[in-house]
Structure 1
Amino acid sequence: MVAIAVKIAKLLAGTLLVIAAGSVLVRLVRPPVTSAGSNSPTPSPSIVVDSPSPSPSVVPACAQPTLIGTVDQARVSARKSADPKAKVVASFGRINADGAPQVFDLQAATAGSDGKRWYRALLPVRPNGTTGYLPATALRVTNTQYRIRVDRPHLNLTLFKGCDQVKRFPIGLGKESTPTPDGRYYIIALLKPPIRNSVYGEYAYGLSAFSDVLKNWTGGGIIGIHGTNDPSSIGDRKSHGCIRMYNKDIRQLVPILPLGTPVDIV
Protein backbone atom coordinates (compact mmCIF):
# COMPACT_ATOMS: atom_id res chain seq x y z
CA MET A 1 0.00 0.00 0.00
CA VAL A 2 1.36 3.42 -0.87
CA ALA A 3 1.90 6.22 1.64
CA ILE A 4 -0.70 8.95 1.69
CA ALA A 5 0.57 11.92 -0.31
CA VAL A 6 -0.45 15.55 -0.27
CA LYS A 7 -1.89 14.93 -3.71
CA ILE A 8 -3.63 11.77 -2.53
CA ALA A 9 -6.62 12.57 -4.69
CA LYS A 10 -4.50 11.81 -7.74
CA LEU A 11 -3.82 8.31 -6.47
CA LEU A 12 -7.53 7.56 -6.46
CA ALA A 13 -8.33 9.43 -9.69
CA GLY A 14 -9.85 12.39 -7.89
CA THR A 15 -12.40 10.32 -5.98
CA LEU A 16 -11.49 11.37 -2.44
CA LEU A 17 -13.69 13.72 -0.47
CA VAL A 18 -11.98 16.16 1.86
CA ILE A 19 -13.53 16.22 5.30
CA ALA A 20 -12.18 19.28 7.04
CA ALA A 21 -13.67 22.14 9.02
CA GLY A 22 -14.76 24.86 6.63
CA SER A 23 -13.52 23.16 3.42
CA VAL A 24 -15.27 21.20 0.69
CA LEU A 25 -14.19 19.35 -2.43
CA VAL A 26 -17.41 17.38 -2.88
CA ARG A 27 -19.33 17.62 0.38
CA LEU A 28 -18.54 18.82 3.88
CA VAL A 29 -18.54 16.79 7.07
CA ARG A 30 -17.45 19.09 9.84
CA PRO A 31 -15.00 17.49 12.31
CA PRO A 32 -14.45 18.96 15.77
CA VAL A 33 -12.15 21.99 15.95
CA THR A 34 -11.32 21.59 19.62
CA SER A 35 -12.03 18.97 22.25
CA ALA A 36 -15.02 21.05 23.28
CA GLY A 37 -16.14 21.66 19.72
CA SER A 38 -15.64 25.40 20.12
CA ASN A 39 -14.00 27.97 17.88
CA SER A 40 -13.58 30.43 20.73
CA PRO A 41 -10.14 31.96 21.28
CA THR A 42 -7.77 30.07 23.51
CA PRO A 43 -6.29 31.73 26.62
CA SER A 44 -2.63 32.67 26.30
CA PRO A 45 -0.41 29.63 26.88
CA SER A 46 1.80 29.38 29.93
CA ILE A 47 4.75 28.00 27.97
CA VAL A 48 7.18 30.63 26.69
CA VAL A 49 10.27 29.99 24.60
CA ASP A 50 13.44 29.98 26.72
CA SER A 51 11.45 30.31 29.94
CA PRO A 52 13.01 29.12 33.22
CA SER A 53 12.51 25.52 34.31
CA PRO A 54 9.01 25.05 35.77
CA SER A 55 8.49 24.54 39.47
CA PRO A 56 7.19 21.18 40.77
CA SER A 57 3.70 22.70 41.14
CA VAL A 58 3.31 23.26 37.39
CA VAL A 59 0.61 21.18 35.70
CA PRO A 60 2.05 18.05 34.01
CA ALA A 61 2.75 18.42 30.29
CA CYS A 62 0.17 15.76 29.44
CA ALA A 63 -2.55 17.81 31.15
CA GLN A 64 -1.83 20.92 29.09
CA PRO A 65 -3.92 21.16 25.91
CA THR A 66 -2.20 21.40 22.55
CA LEU A 67 -2.65 24.75 20.86
CA ILE A 68 -3.76 24.62 17.23
CA GLY A 69 -3.22 27.58 14.94
CA THR A 70 -5.41 27.93 11.84
CA VAL A 71 -4.29 30.42 9.20
CA ASP A 72 -6.67 33.38 9.40
CA GLN A 73 -5.41 35.56 6.56
CA ALA A 74 -4.65 35.12 2.87
CA ARG A 75 -1.06 34.06 3.45
CA VAL A 76 1.44 33.75 6.30
CA SER A 77 5.19 33.15 6.36
CA ALA A 78 6.91 31.03 8.99
CA ARG A 79 10.26 32.59 9.91
CA LYS A 80 13.53 31.47 11.47
CA SER A 81 12.92 33.66 14.52
CA ALA A 82 10.16 35.79 16.02
CA ASP A 83 11.10 38.73 13.86
CA PRO A 84 9.12 40.04 10.86
CA LYS A 85 12.45 40.53 9.04
CA ALA A 86 13.86 37.06 9.78
CA LYS A 87 14.47 34.55 6.99
CA VAL A 88 11.35 32.80 5.69
CA VAL A 89 11.25 29.04 6.30
CA ALA A 90 8.04 28.44 4.33
CA SER A 91 4.85 30.26 3.37
CA PHE A 92 1.28 29.00 3.68
CA GLY A 93 -2.19 30.01 2.53
CA ARG A 94 -5.53 29.46 4.25
CA ILE A 95 -6.05 26.10 2.53
CA ASN A 96 -3.52 23.28 2.18
CA ALA A 97 -2.94 21.04 -0.83
CA ASP A 98 -5.68 18.63 0.32
CA GLY A 99 -8.27 21.42 0.39
CA ALA A 100 -8.33 21.44 4.19
CA PRO A 101 -7.74 24.49 6.43
CA GLN A 102 -4.04 25.08 6.99
CA VAL A 103 -3.27 24.28 10.62
CA PHE A 104 -0.18 24.15 12.81
CA ASP A 105 0.83 22.50 16.08
CA LEU A 106 1.77 25.55 18.18
CA GLN A 107 4.54 24.49 20.53
CA ALA A 108 5.38 27.68 22.39
CA ALA A 109 4.66 31.40 22.54
CA THR A 110 7.15 34.24 22.77
CA ALA A 111 7.39 38.00 22.37
CA GLY A 112 8.75 38.98 18.98
CA SER A 113 11.21 41.73 18.11
CA ASP A 114 8.17 43.82 17.18
CA GLY A 115 6.79 43.49 20.70
CA LYS A 116 3.92 41.29 19.53
CA ARG A 117 3.06 37.66 20.29
CA TRP A 118 4.53 34.97 18.06
CA TYR A 119 4.26 31.18 18.14
CA ARG A 120 6.90 28.59 17.47
CA ALA A 121 5.09 26.04 15.32
CA LEU A 122 5.75 22.59 13.94
CA LEU A 123 5.58 22.90 10.15
CA PRO A 124 4.27 20.33 7.62
CA VAL A 125 7.42 20.46 5.49
CA ARG A 126 10.64 18.52 5.00
CA PRO A 127 12.76 17.71 6.88
CA ASN A 128 10.55 16.19 9.58
CA GLY A 129 10.60 18.26 12.75
CA THR A 130 11.09 21.62 11.02
CA THR A 131 9.77 24.53 13.06
CA GLY A 132 9.20 28.20 12.35
CA TYR A 133 7.78 31.29 14.01
CA LEU A 134 4.32 32.59 13.08
CA PRO A 135 2.77 35.93 14.12
CA ALA A 136 -0.26 35.46 16.36
CA THR A 137 -2.15 38.05 14.33
CA ALA A 138 -2.20 35.62 11.37
CA LEU A 139 -3.78 32.76 13.32
CA ARG A 140 -7.02 31.68 14.92
CA VAL A 141 -5.95 29.72 17.98
CA THR A 142 -7.95 26.83 19.43
CA ASN A 143 -6.91 23.79 21.44
CA THR A 144 -7.43 20.09 21.94
CA GLN A 145 -6.79 17.76 24.86
CA TYR A 146 -6.59 14.76 22.55
CA ARG A 147 -3.33 13.29 21.32
CA ILE A 148 -2.19 10.09 19.66
CA ARG A 149 0.82 7.94 20.49
CA VAL A 150 2.01 5.37 17.96
CA ASP A 151 4.16 2.64 19.53
CA ARG A 152 6.22 1.12 16.73
CA PRO A 153 7.83 -1.74 18.70
CA HIS A 154 4.45 -2.95 19.98
CA LEU A 155 2.41 -2.11 16.86
CA ASN A 156 -0.31 -0.16 18.63
CA LEU A 157 -1.88 3.29 18.59
CA THR A 158 -3.14 4.86 21.81
CA LEU A 159 -5.64 7.71 22.04
CA PHE A 160 -5.18 10.00 25.05
CA LYS A 161 -7.30 12.79 26.46
CA GLY A 162 -5.02 14.80 28.68
CA CYS A 163 -3.16 12.30 30.86
CA ASP A 164 -5.90 9.67 30.54
CA GLN A 165 -5.70 6.76 28.12
CA VAL A 166 -8.98 6.56 26.20
CA LYS A 167 -8.38 3.52 24.01
CA ARG A 168 -5.63 1.46 22.39
CA PHE A 169 -5.81 0.01 18.88
CA PRO A 170 -3.70 -2.55 16.97
CA ILE A 171 -2.03 -1.17 13.85
CA GLY A 172 0.12 -2.05 10.86
CA LEU A 173 3.29 -0.11 10.02
CA GLY A 174 5.88 0.39 7.31
CA LYS A 175 8.03 -2.48 6.14
CA GLU A 176 11.80 -2.53 6.73
CA SER A 177 12.60 -0.85 3.41
CA THR A 178 10.01 1.92 3.92
CA PRO A 179 9.76 2.36 7.70
CA THR A 180 7.29 4.56 9.52
CA PRO A 181 9.32 7.58 10.73
CA ASP A 182 9.45 8.45 14.40
CA GLY A 183 8.93 11.96 15.75
CA ARG A 184 6.30 14.52 16.68
CA TYR A 185 3.68 15.23 13.99
CA TYR A 186 0.06 16.33 13.71
CA ILE A 187 -3.07 15.79 11.62
CA ILE A 188 -3.31 18.04 8.55
CA ALA A 189 -6.32 16.56 6.71
CA LEU A 190 -9.10 14.00 6.92
CA LEU A 191 -10.05 12.25 3.69
CA LYS A 192 -12.84 9.83 2.84
CA PRO A 193 -12.53 7.53 -0.20
CA PRO A 194 -16.09 7.12 -1.54
CA ILE A 195 -15.13 3.84 -3.22
CA ARG A 196 -15.93 0.86 -1.02
CA ASN A 197 -13.04 -1.46 -0.25
CA SER A 198 -10.45 1.21 -1.02
CA VAL A 199 -6.82 0.47 -0.13
CA TYR A 200 -7.15 3.38 2.31
CA GLY A 201 -10.19 1.89 4.00
CA GLU A 202 -13.05 4.11 5.12
CA TYR A 203 -11.00 7.12 6.25
CA ALA A 204 -7.50 8.49 5.88
CA TYR A 205 -5.74 11.11 8.01
CA GLY A 206 -2.91 13.01 6.36
CA LEU A 207 -0.07 13.81 8.77
CA SER A 208 2.68 16.42 8.76
CA ALA A 209 5.16 13.51 8.54
CA PHE A 210 7.20 12.56 5.48
CA SER A 211 8.77 9.25 4.53
CA ASP A 212 12.53 9.15 5.01
CA VAL A 213 12.76 6.91 1.93
CA LEU A 214 10.04 7.82 -0.60
CA LYS A 215 11.14 11.37 -1.31
CA ASN A 216 9.99 11.43 -4.94
CA TRP A 217 6.56 9.92 -4.31
CA THR A 218 3.49 11.89 -5.36
CA GLY A 219 3.11 14.75 -2.91
CA GLY A 220 6.58 14.23 -1.51
CA GLY A 221 5.89 11.00 0.38
CA ILE A 222 3.54 12.20 3.11
CA ILE A 223 2.73 9.64 5.82
CA GLY A 224 -0.82 9.06 7.00
CA ILE A 225 -3.07 7.06 9.28
CA HIS A 226 -5.76 5.18 7.38
CA GLY A 227 -8.06 2.19 7.24
CA THR A 228 -7.40 -0.81 5.05
CA ASN A 229 -8.98 -3.38 2.75
CA ASP A 230 -6.42 -5.93 4.00
CA PRO A 231 -7.18 -6.69 7.67
CA SER A 232 -4.35 -9.25 7.72
CA SER A 233 -1.86 -6.36 7.51
CA ILE A 234 -2.80 -5.18 11.01
CA GLY A 235 -0.18 -6.38 13.47
CA ASP A 236 2.39 -6.57 10.69
CA ARG A 237 4.85 -4.33 8.82
CA LYS A 238 3.76 -4.23 5.19
CA SER A 239 3.06 -0.60 4.28
CA HIS A 240 5.15 2.04 2.55
CA GLY A 241 5.31 3.94 5.85
CA CYS A 242 1.68 4.69 6.60
CA ILE A 243 -0.07 3.59 9.78
CA ARG A 244 -2.91 1.16 9.04
CA MET A 245 -5.93 0.60 11.27
CA TYR A 246 -8.99 -1.60 11.14
CA ASN A 247 -11.82 0.38 9.55
CA LYS A 248 -13.96 -0.08 12.65
CA ASP A 249 -11.19 1.48 14.74
CA ILE A 250 -10.37 4.54 12.66
CA ARG A 251 -14.11 5.16 12.41
CA GLN A 252 -14.08 5.81 16.17
CA LEU A 253 -11.52 8.61 15.80
CA VAL A 254 -13.35 10.62 13.15
CA PRO A 255 -15.92 12.34 15.44
CA ILE A 256 -13.24 13.10 18.03
CA LEU A 257 -10.02 14.39 16.51
CA PRO A 258 -9.70 17.91 15.09
CA LEU A 259 -7.14 18.95 12.53
CA GLY A 260 -3.97 19.80 14.43
CA THR A 261 -4.22 16.86 16.84
CA PRO A 262 -0.65 15.88 17.81
CA VAL A 263 0.68 12.45 16.83
CA ASP A 264 3.81 11.13 18.55
CA ILE A 265 5.43 8.19 16.76
CA VAL A 266 7.93 6.44 19.02
Structure 2
Amino acid sequence: MPVRPSPRRPFVSILHRSIVAVVASLALVGLLGSCAGERPSLGKQAPVTTAAKGSTTSTSSSAPPATVPAPVVPGPDTLLGYIATPTAKPVVRAEPRDDAPAIDIPAVTALGAPTTLAVLGDATTAAGGGWYQVVLPTRPNGATGWVPAASVTITKTPFRLFIDLEGRALRVEKDGTAVMNSKIAIGTSENPTPVGASYLTELIDNVEPGGAYGPYAFGLALHSDTLTEFAGGPGQVGIHGTNKPELIGDRVSSGCIRLTNDGVGQLVDFQLPLGAPVLIT
Protein backbone atom coordinates (compact mmCIF):
# COMPACT_ATOMS: atom_id res chain seq x y z
CA MET A 1 0.00 0.00 0.00
CA PRO A 2 1.44 3.42 -0.86
CA VAL A 3 2.40 5.70 1.96
CA ARG A 4 -0.29 8.25 2.67
CA PRO A 5 0.72 11.87 2.04
CA SER A 6 -0.20 13.06 5.52
CA PRO A 7 1.43 11.42 8.56
CA ARG A 8 -0.78 9.58 10.99
CA ARG A 9 -1.52 11.41 14.20
CA PRO A 10 0.34 9.98 17.20
CA PHE A 11 -1.88 7.48 18.96
CA VAL A 12 -1.44 9.19 22.31
CA SER A 13 -2.92 12.38 20.89
CA ILE A 14 -5.95 10.45 19.68
CA LEU A 15 -6.50 9.16 23.20
CA HIS A 16 -6.31 12.68 24.57
CA ARG A 17 -9.01 13.69 22.09
CA SER A 18 -11.36 10.97 23.35
CA ILE A 19 -11.60 8.87 20.19
CA VAL A 20 -14.17 6.26 19.78
CA ALA A 21 -12.71 3.01 20.87
CA VAL A 22 -11.25 1.47 23.92
CA VAL A 23 -7.59 0.75 23.35
CA ALA A 24 -6.05 -2.13 25.25
CA SER A 25 -2.41 -3.12 25.10
CA LEU A 26 -2.73 -6.80 25.88
CA ALA A 27 -2.48 -10.24 24.37
CA LEU A 28 -4.58 -10.48 21.26
CA VAL A 29 -4.59 -14.25 21.38
CA GLY A 30 -6.99 -14.19 24.32
CA LEU A 31 -9.43 -11.91 22.54
CA LEU A 32 -9.06 -12.82 18.90
CA GLY A 33 -8.89 -16.52 19.60
CA SER A 34 -9.43 -17.59 15.99
CA CYS A 35 -6.42 -15.71 14.62
CA ALA A 36 -3.36 -17.71 13.69
CA GLY A 37 0.18 -16.61 14.45
CA GLU A 38 2.61 -16.08 17.29
CA ARG A 39 1.44 -14.83 20.64
CA PRO A 40 1.91 -11.09 21.22
CA SER A 41 3.36 -9.97 24.54
CA LEU A 42 1.13 -9.21 27.47
CA GLY A 43 0.63 -5.59 28.40
CA LYS A 44 -1.65 -3.42 30.46
CA GLN A 45 -5.07 -2.18 29.56
CA ALA A 46 -5.31 1.47 28.62
CA PRO A 47 -8.02 3.77 29.99
CA VAL A 48 -11.49 3.53 28.56
CA THR A 49 -12.30 6.43 26.27
CA THR A 50 -15.53 7.85 24.91
CA ALA A 51 -16.98 8.37 21.48
CA ALA A 52 -14.96 10.46 19.09
CA LYS A 53 -16.07 13.90 18.05
CA GLY A 54 -17.46 13.60 14.54
CA SER A 55 -17.51 9.79 14.52
CA THR A 56 -21.08 9.59 15.78
CA THR A 57 -24.06 11.87 15.99
CA SER A 58 -26.87 11.90 18.52
CA THR A 59 -30.34 10.94 17.42
CA SER A 60 -33.65 12.49 18.29
CA SER A 61 -34.91 11.98 21.84
CA SER A 62 -38.56 12.18 20.82
CA ALA A 63 -40.92 9.56 22.27
CA PRO A 64 -41.04 6.27 20.34
CA PRO A 65 -44.21 5.10 18.58
CA ALA A 66 -46.58 2.79 20.43
CA THR A 67 -46.36 -0.27 18.18
CA VAL A 68 -43.51 -2.74 18.58
CA PRO A 69 -41.86 -3.29 15.17
CA ALA A 70 -41.52 -6.74 13.66
CA PRO A 71 -38.10 -8.33 14.17
CA VAL A 72 -35.69 -8.07 11.25
CA VAL A 73 -32.66 -10.06 10.11
CA PRO A 74 -29.21 -8.42 10.36
CA GLY A 75 -27.89 -7.35 6.97
CA PRO A 76 -26.89 -4.35 4.85
CA ASP A 77 -30.48 -3.14 4.63
CA THR A 78 -31.03 -3.25 8.38
CA LEU A 79 -27.63 -2.51 9.95
CA LEU A 80 -27.58 1.20 9.19
CA GLY A 81 -25.04 2.58 11.66
CA TYR A 82 -27.21 3.16 14.73
CA ILE A 83 -25.41 2.23 17.96
CA ALA A 84 -26.95 1.54 21.37
CA THR A 85 -24.69 2.12 24.37
CA PRO A 86 -26.20 0.87 27.64
CA THR A 87 -26.26 3.43 30.44
CA ALA A 88 -25.69 0.64 33.00
CA LYS A 89 -25.40 -3.15 32.79
CA PRO A 90 -27.22 -4.08 29.59
CA VAL A 91 -30.84 -5.12 29.95
CA VAL A 92 -31.45 -7.49 27.05
CA ARG A 93 -34.56 -9.59 26.43
CA ALA A 94 -35.30 -12.33 23.91
CA GLU A 95 -38.48 -10.48 22.92
CA PRO A 96 -39.64 -6.86 23.28
CA ARG A 97 -41.45 -7.28 26.59
CA ASP A 98 -40.40 -7.04 30.22
CA ASP A 99 -41.31 -10.63 31.09
CA ALA A 100 -39.39 -12.17 28.16
CA PRO A 101 -36.34 -14.33 28.96
CA ALA A 102 -33.30 -12.27 29.87
CA ILE A 103 -30.07 -12.53 27.86
CA ASP A 104 -26.94 -11.99 29.94
CA ILE A 105 -24.63 -9.46 28.30
CA PRO A 106 -21.84 -7.98 30.47
CA ALA A 107 -21.38 -4.24 30.86
CA VAL A 108 -17.86 -4.44 29.45
CA THR A 109 -16.06 -6.72 27.03
CA ALA A 110 -13.28 -9.10 28.02
CA LEU A 111 -10.82 -6.22 27.49
CA GLY A 112 -12.79 -3.65 29.45
CA ALA A 113 -14.37 -1.84 26.51
CA PRO A 114 -17.89 -0.56 27.21
CA THR A 115 -20.40 -2.92 25.66
CA THR A 116 -22.02 -1.52 22.55
CA LEU A 117 -24.86 -3.03 20.53
CA ALA A 118 -25.64 -2.42 16.87
CA VAL A 119 -29.26 -1.38 16.37
CA LEU A 120 -31.29 -2.97 13.61
CA GLY A 121 -33.41 -0.70 11.46
CA ASP A 122 -33.87 3.04 11.67
CA ALA A 123 -33.45 3.94 15.34
CA THR A 124 -35.41 7.16 14.86
CA THR A 125 -38.53 5.07 14.32
CA ALA A 126 -37.57 1.53 15.41
CA ALA A 127 -38.13 1.83 19.16
CA GLY A 128 -41.77 0.82 18.87
CA GLY A 129 -43.29 0.31 22.28
CA GLY A 130 -40.02 1.48 23.83
CA TRP A 131 -37.68 -1.25 22.49
CA TYR A 132 -34.75 -1.49 20.07
CA GLN A 133 -33.78 -4.72 18.34
CA VAL A 134 -29.99 -5.15 18.51
CA VAL A 135 -27.28 -7.49 17.27
CA LEU A 136 -25.57 -9.31 20.13
CA PRO A 137 -21.81 -9.96 20.51
CA THR A 138 -22.44 -13.62 21.36
CA ARG A 139 -22.77 -16.98 19.70
CA PRO A 140 -24.49 -17.89 17.49
CA ASN A 141 -23.40 -15.31 14.93
CA GLY A 142 -26.23 -12.99 14.01
CA ALA A 143 -28.05 -13.48 17.32
CA THR A 144 -30.35 -10.60 18.22
CA GLY A 145 -32.18 -9.36 21.27
CA TRP A 146 -34.19 -6.38 22.46
CA VAL A 147 -33.21 -3.54 24.80
CA PRO A 148 -35.52 -1.01 26.44
CA ALA A 149 -35.14 2.35 24.74
CA ALA A 150 -34.81 4.05 28.12
CA SER A 151 -31.76 1.91 29.02
CA VAL A 152 -29.48 2.98 26.18
CA THR A 153 -28.03 6.04 24.50
CA ILE A 154 -28.39 6.04 20.71
CA THR A 155 -25.79 7.47 18.35
CA LYS A 156 -25.26 7.06 14.61
CA THR A 157 -22.03 6.60 12.71
CA PRO A 158 -21.65 7.45 9.02
CA PHE A 159 -19.17 4.56 8.63
CA ARG A 160 -19.83 0.99 7.49
CA LEU A 161 -17.28 -1.68 6.58
CA PHE A 162 -17.93 -4.15 3.76
CA ILE A 163 -15.79 -7.27 3.38
CA ASP A 164 -15.89 -9.32 0.17
CA LEU A 165 -14.33 -12.70 0.93
CA GLU A 166 -14.28 -13.97 -2.65
CA GLY A 167 -12.73 -10.73 -3.88
CA ARG A 168 -10.37 -10.53 -0.85
CA ALA A 169 -11.35 -6.91 -0.42
CA LEU A 170 -12.34 -4.53 2.37
CA ARG A 171 -14.25 -1.34 1.62
CA VAL A 172 -15.04 1.44 4.07
CA GLU A 173 -17.98 3.70 3.29
CA LYS A 174 -18.80 7.03 4.87
CA ASP A 175 -22.34 8.21 4.20
CA GLY A 176 -22.51 5.68 1.37
CA THR A 177 -19.32 6.83 -0.37
CA ALA A 178 -16.23 4.62 -0.46
CA VAL A 179 -13.33 6.21 1.43
CA MET A 180 -11.04 3.17 1.57
CA ASN A 181 -10.47 0.04 -0.52
CA SER A 182 -7.90 -2.53 0.51
CA LYS A 183 -6.87 -6.10 -0.24
CA ILE A 184 -7.13 -8.56 2.64
CA ALA A 185 -6.18 -12.07 3.68
CA ILE A 186 -8.92 -14.32 5.05
CA GLY A 187 -9.50 -17.68 6.73
CA THR A 188 -8.49 -21.00 5.24
CA SER A 189 -10.97 -23.48 3.80
CA GLU A 190 -10.67 -25.48 7.03
CA ASN A 191 -11.32 -22.44 9.24
CA PRO A 192 -13.07 -19.92 7.00
CA THR A 193 -13.89 -16.35 7.87
CA PRO A 194 -17.59 -16.39 8.82
CA VAL A 195 -20.07 -14.40 6.79
CA GLY A 196 -22.78 -12.20 8.20
CA ALA A 197 -23.60 -8.84 9.74
CA SER A 198 -21.43 -7.81 12.68
CA TYR A 199 -19.89 -4.73 14.28
CA LEU A 200 -16.72 -3.47 15.99
CA THR A 201 -16.43 -4.32 19.68
CA GLU A 202 -12.86 -3.32 20.64
CA LEU A 203 -9.78 -1.58 19.36
CA ILE A 204 -6.48 -3.00 20.56
CA ASP A 205 -3.10 -1.26 20.49
CA ASN A 206 -0.65 -4.16 20.26
CA VAL A 207 2.45 -4.01 22.44
CA GLU A 208 4.36 -5.83 19.68
CA PRO A 209 3.49 -3.84 16.53
CA GLY A 210 5.98 -5.88 14.52
CA GLY A 211 4.33 -9.15 15.49
CA ALA A 212 1.80 -11.38 13.78
CA TYR A 213 -1.14 -9.07 14.52
CA GLY A 214 0.50 -5.83 13.47
CA PRO A 215 0.11 -2.57 15.39
CA TYR A 216 -3.67 -2.63 15.86
CA ALA A 217 -6.57 -5.06 15.92
CA PHE A 218 -10.33 -4.57 15.98
CA GLY A 219 -12.49 -7.16 17.71
CA LEU A 220 -15.75 -8.10 16.00
CA ALA A 221 -19.08 -9.34 17.35
CA LEU A 222 -18.42 -12.50 15.37
CA HIS A 223 -17.05 -15.96 16.14
CA SER A 224 -15.51 -18.77 14.14
CA ASP A 225 -17.93 -21.37 12.82
CA THR A 226 -15.30 -24.09 13.22
CA LEU A 227 -13.30 -23.11 16.32
CA THR A 228 -15.19 -22.85 19.59
CA GLU A 229 -11.93 -22.33 21.46
CA PHE A 230 -8.46 -21.35 20.27
CA ALA A 231 -5.36 -20.78 22.41
CA GLY A 232 -7.52 -19.97 25.42
CA GLY A 233 -9.80 -17.56 23.55
CA PRO A 234 -13.45 -18.00 22.52
CA GLY A 235 -12.78 -18.09 18.79
CA GLN A 236 -13.65 -14.42 18.31
CA VAL A 237 -12.89 -13.02 14.87
CA GLY A 238 -11.12 -9.72 14.30
CA ILE A 239 -9.51 -7.39 11.78
CA HIS A 240 -5.79 -6.80 12.29
CA GLY A 241 -2.44 -6.11 10.71
CA THR A 242 0.27 -8.62 9.89
CA ASN A 243 4.02 -9.17 9.79
CA LYS A 244 3.62 -11.17 6.56
CA PRO A 245 2.23 -8.65 4.05
CA GLU A 246 3.23 -10.94 1.18
CA LEU A 247 0.31 -13.21 2.18
CA ILE A 248 -2.33 -10.51 1.71
CA GLY A 249 -4.82 -11.82 -0.84
CA ASP A 250 -4.51 -15.44 0.31
CA ARG A 251 -6.53 -17.77 2.54
CA VAL A 252 -4.09 -18.11 5.42
CA SER A 253 -5.72 -17.17 8.75
CA SER A 254 -7.85 -19.18 11.15
CA GLY A 255 -10.77 -16.85 10.48
CA CYS A 256 -9.55 -13.32 11.11
CA ILE A 257 -9.25 -10.66 8.42
CA ARG A 258 -5.73 -9.41 7.81
CA LEU A 259 -4.75 -6.04 6.39
CA THR A 260 -1.33 -4.56 5.78
CA ASN A 261 -0.14 -2.56 8.76
CA ASP A 262 -0.70 0.64 6.80
CA GLY A 263 -4.22 -0.54 6.06
CA VAL A 264 -5.17 -1.24 9.66
CA GLY A 265 -3.57 2.08 10.61
CA GLN A 266 -5.84 3.80 8.12
CA LEU A 267 -8.85 2.21 9.82
CA VAL A 268 -7.64 3.62 13.13
CA ASP A 269 -7.28 7.06 11.55
CA PHE A 270 -10.98 7.03 10.64
CA GLN A 271 -11.76 6.98 14.40
CA LEU A 272 -14.37 4.30 13.85
CA PRO A 273 -16.75 4.01 16.80
CA LEU A 274 -17.40 0.81 18.66
CA GLY A 275 -20.63 -0.47 17.16
CA ALA A 276 -19.75 0.48 13.58
CA PRO A 277 -21.31 -2.11 11.22
CA VAL A 278 -19.14 -4.73 9.53
CA LEU A 279 -20.86 -6.66 6.72
CA ILE A 280 -19.08 -9.79 5.50
CA THR A 281 -20.18 -11.61 2.34
TM-score normalised to structure 2 length? 0.76
Q: Which residue of 2 aligns with 1:76?
A: 90
Measured after TM superposition, the shift of residue 239 of structure 1 is 0.3
Q: Does 1:185 align with 2:211?
A: no
Distance 1:50 1:254 in 2: 35
Q: Does 1:89 align with 2:100?
A: no
Percent identical residues: 33
**In the superposition, relative to structure 1, how do residues 162 and 4 fare at CA in structure 2: closer, same or farther (>3 Å)?**
farther
- AA in 2 matched with 1:41: S
Please report the RMSD computed on the Cα atoms of aligned residues, expressed in angstroms: 2.8
Alpha carbons 1:6, 1:206 under 8 Å: kept: yes
Q: Does 1:122 align with 2:142?
A: no
> SS in structure 2 opposite 1:219?
coil
Note the 1:20-169 alignment, pairs <5 A: 25-26=45-46, 30=49, 32-33=51-52, 36-37=54-55, 41-43=58-60, 49-50=69-70, 65-73=80-88, 75-93=89-107, 95-108=108-121, 109-112=126-129, 117-169=130-182
Q: Which residue of 1 aligns with 2:227?
A: 214
**In the superposition, relative to structure 1, how do residues 106 and 5 fare at CA in structure 2: closer, same or farther (>3 Å)?**
farther
Q: Does 1:195 align with 2:223?
A: no
Q: Which residue of 1 aligns with 2:31?
A: 6
> SS in structure 2 opposite 1:88?
coil
Measured after TM superposition, the shift of residue 61 of structure 1 is 5.3
Q: Which has the higher strand share?
A: 1
Task: Name the stretch that deviates more: 188-197 or 203-212.
Answer: 188-197
TM-score normalised to structure 1 length? 0.80
Measured after TM superposition, the shift of residue 78 of structure 1 is 1.4
What count of residue pairs does the alignment treat as equivalent? 237
Q: Does 1:240 align with 2:254?
A: yes
Identify unmatched segments of 5+ residues in structure 2: 1-27, 34-38
Q: Which residue of 2 aligns with 1:250?
A: 264
- AA in 2 matched with 1:84: D
Alpha carbons 1:31, 1:255 under 8 Å: kept: no
Identify unmatched segments of 5+ residues in structure 1: 18-24, 52-59
Measured after TM superposition, the shift of residue 89 of structure 1 is 2.6
- AA in 2 matched with 1:249: G
Distance 1:255 1:138 in 2: 31
Distance 1:61 1:146 in 2: 14
Measured after TM superposition, the shift of residue 13 of structure 1 is 4.5
Distance 2:208 2:109 in 1: 23
Alpha carbons 1:77, 1:92 under 8 Å: kept: no
Q: Which residue of 2 aligns with 1:264?
A: 279
**In the superposition, relative to structure 1, how do residues 145 and 231 fare at CA in structure 2: closer, same or farther (>3 Å)?**
same
Q: Does 1:176 align with 2:189?
A: yes
**In the superposition, relative to structure 1, how do residues 7 and 147 fare at CA in structure 2: closer, same or farther (>3 Å)?**
closer
Distance 1:163 1:7 in 2: 29
